[in-house]
Amino acid sequence: MLRLDRDPRGVVTLTLDRPEARNALSAALVAELTAALERLAADPEVRIVLLTGAGTAFCGGADIGEMRAAGQASPAANEADARRFTRMLECLEGLPRPTVAVVNGAAYGGGIGLIAACDIAIAAEDARLAISEVRLGILPAMISPYVVRAIGLRQARRWCLSGEAMDAATAARIGLLHETAPAAGLPAAVARHVEALLAGGPGAQSEIKRLLNAAAGRDEASDRARSATNAQWLARLRASDEGREGLSAYIEKRRPAWWRGA
């Protein structure tokens, strides 16, 4: 479910490879990606990590069938599932090398978390993005710290509360993306950023990532505590009547019971 390619410069490309499921983050894919990131973090020959998706989507978010099953599992199993997701995001953001999200297509829910956890994000101009959890009757608990750090609280409220899709230009305007390019020009745009990053000292880049976290007032203990609280929050909402109804409605391709739209 995950392809890893490395070039002679130490540029590693991780490709989410579930195109038939819009690269949804199943438990198996989350485990593969987490393990790959842990290995790359320990490899001194790695210079840059690119993250992208196979096919026409970047990442459709969490696997909805598995989300519904987690909500129906025991509280301990439900929370453990959420913790595995946040561990993946921690490994991505904490990687001691520059990371670049190459957003080749649609990104929803957990896919937005992947983008926000990367250092740099570049997208095709026709990509659509949404923090869509609210429309499933749940909340973007695990990705919320990364989203708020990327776009700020005011914008996060607007997009998390509505779950609306935005175009790539809007995502760039609010800070979720750094750059957009025509789909055909995306590789060239990524190559420019790679060349710029390769000009920096790898040790300095690693220290800069730590420095900026410290400058923002972050520390590992508080980050871990927030992640644990958020995992409990998501587990509770998934197990709620509204969460179960929203996830079931999505799978059954119908409007949820709370729908009051036209």
Among 133, 195, 207, 242, the active-site one is 133
Round to whole Å and give the CA distance between 235 and 228.
Answer: 11
133 is catalytic: yes
Round to whole Å and give the CA distance between 33 and 71.
Answer: 23
Are 39 and 32 in contact by the 8 Å Cβ rule? The answer is no
Round to whole Å and give the CA distance between 49 and 109.
Answer: 22
Longest dimension (CA), the chain: 56
Structure tokens at 29: 């894919």
Query: Is residue 83 left, alpha or beta, with left meaning phi > 0 and alpha meaning psi from -120 to 50?
Result: alpha
Q: Which of 226, 259, 256 is nearest to 83 (CA)?
A: 226
Q: Where are the beta strands (DSSP E) in 29-130?
A: 48-53, 57-59, 99-103, 106-108, 120-124, 128-130
Taking residue 8's Cβ as centre, other Cβ atoms within 10 Å add up to: 5
Q: Catalytic residues, which ones?
A: 133
